[in-house]
């Protein structure tokens, strides 16, 4: 067996996987963590979640826009700040 075979398999698995080999984006992590969350302004419209340099923006059912800062800790877990009102 070729000594490079395990590397070839790993590369193929990374290409095949939906998220590749990297960690999920802030948007992907936020959606996974907040799916089903109901804020005081109503449920989060998951289709509206967008990455920003500092975290994500999203819209709630009432039409208001929000920004949340996201920090990645040394252990790889994400820490979410308090939602702040954001311009449309």
Residue 8, pLDDT > 80, answer no
With 0.85 as the threshold, say if the pTM is over it.
no
CA dist 24 and 26 (Å) reads 7
What residue segments make up the domains of the chain, in order of their start?
24-86
Tens digit of each residue's pLDDT (9 = 90 or more) over 14-49: 555 544 567 899 999 999 999 988 988 899 999 999
């Amino acid at each position: 067996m070729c000594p490079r075979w395990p590397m070839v398999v790993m590369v193929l698995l990374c290409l095949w996987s939906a998220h590749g080999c990297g960690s999920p984006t802030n948007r992907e992590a936020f959606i996974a963590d907040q799916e089903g969350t109901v804020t005081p302004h109503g449920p989060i419209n998951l289709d509206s979640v967008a990455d920003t340099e500092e975290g994500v923006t999203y819209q709630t059912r009432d039409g208001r826009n929000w920004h949340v800062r996201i920090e990645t800790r040394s252990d790889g877990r994400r820490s979410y700040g308090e939602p702040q009102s954001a311009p449309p």
